[in-house]
Amino acid sequence: MLNREFVLSFREAAPYINTFRGKTFVLAISGEAVMEGGFYNLSQDINLLVSLGVRVVLVHGIRPQIEALLKRFGLNRLFHRDRRVTDASTMEIVKQACGITRHGIEAQLSMGMPNSPMFGAHLRVAGGNFITAQPLGVLDGVDMQYTGQVRRIDVDGINTRLSAGELVLLSPVGYSVTGEAFNLTMEEMAAQLASALKAEKLIFVIEGRGVTNELGQFVSSLTAQQAEDLLQAGHLQRDVTAYLPYAVKATRDGIPRAHLVSHHEDGSLLAELFTNGGTGTMIARDSLVKVRSAVIDDVGPILNLIRPLEEQGILVKRSREHLEMEISQYSVLEHDGKIYGCVAMHAFPEAGMAELACLAVAPERREGRFGETLLKHVEYQARTQGLKALFVLTTQTAHWFVERGFAEAGRGQLPLARQAFYNNQRRSKIFVKQL
């Protein structure tokens, strides 16, 4: 029997597969994700990304590994401004933690067991001195010693390895021109890598699912400004507070999208990247929802939106030719670059009115207030043209319009030019809203 759910899921993922092929993702994985055994399933998903043509730079954290080794050897831990003060002894621990963690990651990425997604993958992992570091210096009178910051990134070297189909694995350690090693912050390093490589995405794999607001509600998408407001309010989870500022910085620096994804839920990375709803929190510099004027290339997506509603008798049938002729009167609503809604406005300036027509929203987005967004867009258009009222003809959605300020009216209140084309067979009800 045909697995319909699989077919629909694969079709949903197909546009993302095409979009992401050849793009660079910087994937930052917390040390907790590696230490707690969560990397086994994640390694399979990373292999899948590479096999689909995604260029992956993987940066791993080592905080819990360092803490465990410090405790084992009885060494003190010291922080200043939430940064580890790295003396010579601690730097040796950092190197050990990097080696242990890196070898574990490479081992997982090299697996090719039969009946696993990685069978026959032969993923090659590249690494090296791609990060030049410099000491952080003295902060508030505290010598940070071997705690460093990124000075330069060998972009050409990394791109060469990525172009060869390899995964680039980087540890949070950089090397100075004097031959010293410095302890770096994984989040900061990942954000700078994403910016330098002009990556398509920066993805942090963290403890929690993502952002929840002060009411405990999960937030699936944020603009950079909204994220900064939440950080300022101070109600976020500890892991989100650590990673979100770097996600915001990356989007401010030009990265289209940053993501926070949980390592506890198997498949969360794939669900975040290849489904419409995602599973974590996505951060974009600007709003993901945009209403714009339609162009001729939008006729196909508009037809896909309105055909089911035409078949149900909710909308009047429109031919492709009709849409092409009137496309300048249409607007479309995009969410993250994909069209989910459309609307038309037909102006009757002699009557000081405009008709709102062909309002349609994709079924999976009808709970997202996209209809209200399109309505407000048409209201704004009408006002800017000096029109005083908006009218709509509908057979099945009267309550929706009444709830948004429309009042039932008679045919005589329509512009004369529109009265002449009133369809007596449909017997649509007329609603008017004063602007």
SS3 131: strand
Residue 6 — φ and ψ, nearest 5°? -65, -45
Q: Cite the residue boundaries of each domain of the chain with CATH code 3.40.1160.10.
A: 13-284
Q: For 289-434, which CATH class?
A: alpha beta
Where does the pLDDT of residue 112 fall: very low under 50, low under 70, confident under 90, or very high at 90 and above?
low
pLDDT in tens, 207-254: 888 998 887 888 888 889 889 999 998 888 888 999 999 999 999 999
Task: Indicate whether 341 pLDDT > 80.
Answer: yes
pLDDT in tens, 269-296: 999 999 877 899 999 887 778 899 999 9
Nearest to 315 by CA among 294, 338, 344, 293: 344
Region 152-166: mean pLDDT is 96
- Sign of the CA dihedral with 324 first, then 328, 332, and 338 last: positive
Task: Indicate whether 120 pLDDT > 70.
Answer: no
- Rounded CA-CA distance 218/211 in Å is 6
Task: Indicate whether 114 pLDDT > 60.
Answer: no
Neighbours of 386 (CB within 10 A): 10
Structure tokens at 22: 């050849």
Neighbours of 424 (CB within 10 A): 7
Torsion of CA 121, 127, 131, 133, to 10 degrees: 130
- Rounded CA-CA distance 346/356 in Å is 7
- Rounded CA-CA distance 257/283 in Å is 6
Stated length of the chain:
435
- The secondary element (H helix, E strand) that includes residue 392 is strand 389-394
pTM of the entire structure?
0.73
Higher pLDDT, 58 or 212: 58
Which of 26-40, 186-200, 381-395 reaches the highest mean pLDDT? Answer: 186-200
Tokens 């993502």, residue?
210
Nearest to 170 by CA among 127, 107, 111: 127
Cβ proximity of 331 and 342 under 8 Å:
yes
Q: Cite the residue boundaries of each domain of the chain with CATH code 3.40.630.30.
A: 289-434
CA angle 204, 209, 213 (to 5 degrees): 105
173-175 and 79-80 beta bridge pairing? unpaired
Where does the pLDDT of residue 118 fall: very low under 50, low under 70, confident under 90, or very high at 90 and above?
low
SS3 328: helix
- Rounded CA-CA distance 183/189 in Å is 11
The single-letter DSSP state of residue 298 is: G
In percent, the amount of the chain with pLDDT more than 70 equals 96
Asked if CATH classification 3.40.1160.10 holds for the domain at 13-284, the reply, yes or no, is yes
Integer-rounded Cα Rg, in Å, for the chain is 27
* CA 144 and chain centroid, separation: 35
Please tell me the predicted confidence (pLDDT) of residue 117.
Answer: 59
CA distances from 73 to 35, 76, 77 (A): 19, 9, 11
